[in-house]
Amino acid sequence: MRILHTSDLHLGLRLKNYDLKEDQEYILKQVAEKAQEQKPDVMIIAGDIYDKAIPSAEAVHLFDGFVTELTERCPQMTILIISGNHDSPERIDCYSSILCRQNLYLAGLVPTEGEFLKKVVLTDSFGVVNFYLLPFVKPFFVRSLMPKEAVTYEDAVRILLEREEIDRSQRNVLVSHQFYVTGNSQVQRSQSEILTVGNVDAVSSELILDFDYAALGHIHTPMRAGAEHLRYCGTPLPYALDEAGQEKGMLLITLGEKGSELQIEKIPLTPLRQARKIEGKLFQVLMQASDDYVSVVLTDEEDLDTLDMQVKLREAFPHLMEIHRSKGIQINYQTAEQLKLEEVNPFQMFCEFYPDITQEEKEILQDIINEVKEEV
């Protein structure tokens, strides 16, 4: 069985103050073309369809057009979609019972008492493949299923998976949108991701090792989650400057008979515009003019005419994001609302301002800050 794995489309996202609609439209068309070319049996979109819980009409229209093109180009392909932490579970789940008749399976809502994960059963020449769709889950989503002492994201994922009667003799694929980690390993998370205080959303990848493949979303950089068969495919586009230089794409998984080695192939995607960091003297930088999203670091030691420099750079780089001076002076022409406020750590600031804060109060503060970040 051939499975095409993508995630984290973040439709409606703005990069700094730039609208990415044209870029996203371009890459989604490329995804549809690659799907037609590769002829997968299944396509997985592992969460964060939209960048906001209440997406713009343009973002919804863009996704509608994308799914329509996919079904036209690959009419026999099954499409599996789950909600991520940026999505509204109710919106993703809308019409799911009707759309499954069209081989389009949506899992937005996390199961509660008396319910179980949405399970899609497909077959190939080697038999059954069970796809378990696990939308993004927070502990309070499944509070009624959890004992009082279970309060973490890991507890929530564990409880949901343990309730499933998974037949390990069959091939099983998990589709999940969580922050999976291995042991004490430190994962470098992108600036475009929501970072929780203390990484309280971390879940041990040990919980999902027994699946034959785990199609993961949430982390924007392509990587393994501790094992070859546990994979983040990353975003189809660079959504932050620290993703500059990353090769974006999708993963094509060929699932053979039970126990056989997976074949995993990267299907590259070429964005309309790259994210780039350019450093050098002003005249050297201007020689590299492009339409990419660019961060410029000027190494000129002499003073530059600020207005003239700004005009020349914006002419050379229509999607200029920021300007820095290597000698320590940062030139930033954005408004206060556009400054990178996400670099400020509110938890640390609060603790420094109130040094007598107790551990219990710190835990409450962490929960509040993380909740606010999810809602913004």
Q: What is the pLDDT of residues 331-367, one digit of tens each?
A: 444 433 444 444 556 777 776 666 567 766 676 777 6
DSSP 105: E
CA atoms in the 13 A half-sphere facing the CB of 145? 23
263 — alpha (psi -120 to 50), left (phi > 0) or beta?
Answer: beta
Give the tokens for residue 59: 């973002």
Residue 156 has pLDDT above 70, yes or no: yes
Q: How far apart are the first and last CA of the chain?
A: 39
Report CA 162 to chain centroid distance, whole Å.
Answer: 25
What is the predicted pLDDT for the residue at 371?
66
* Residue 227 burial by Cβ neighbours in a 10 Å radius (0-12, 13-18, 19+): middle
Stated pTM of the model: 0.84
Whole-number pLDDT of residue 374: 57
Cα torsion at 341, 196, 251, 258 (round to 10°)? 180
Q: Are 192 and 182 in contact (CB under 8 A)?
A: no
State the average pLDDT for the chain. Answer: 88
* Whole-number Å distance between alpha carbons of 51 and 215: 20
Long-range contacts of 165-171 (CB under 8 A, 24+ apart): 166/130, 166/132, 166/210, 167/130, 168/210, 169/258, 170/127, 170/128, 170/129, 170/130, 170/258, 171/126, 171/127, 171/128, 171/129, 171/130, 171/212, 171/255, 171/258
301-340, pLDDT tens digit by residue?
A: 888 888 898 999 999 999 999 998 886 554 444 433 444 4
Q: Where are the domains of the chain?
A: 2-268, 275-338, 344-375
- Rounded to whole angstroms, how far apart are CA atoms 325 and 71? 49
Q: Which residue has the tokens 């205080």?
A: 197
The first and second tokens of residue 267, run together, are: 């299907």
Give the architecture (CATH level 2) of 2-268. 4-Layer Sandwich (3.60)
Query: b/e per residue, 277-314, with b = 16+ CB within 10 A?
Result: ebebebeebbeeeeebbbbbebebeeeeeeeebeebbe
66-94 average pLDDT score: 96
What pLDDT score was predicted for residue 305?
84
Q: Cα–Cα distance between 189 and 235 in angstroms, integer?
A: 12
* Rounded CA separation 358/355 (Å): 9
Rounded to whole angstroms, the Cα distance separating 299 from 328 reads 10
Whole-angstrom Cα distance, residue 235 to residue 10? 8
- Higher local confidence (pLDDT), 163 or 148: 163
Query: Looking at residue 360, what is its pLDDT?
Result: 66
- Give residue 85's pLDDT band: very low, low, confident or very high (50, 70, 90): very high
Q: What span, in angstroms and rounded, lies between the C-alpha atoms of 156 and 243? A: 30
Q: What is the pLDDT of residues 99-138, one digit of tens each?
A: 999 999 999 999 988 899 999 999 999 999 999 999 999 9
Dump pLDDT digits (tens) for 203-242.
Answer: 999 999 999 999 999 999 999 999 999 999 999 999 988 8
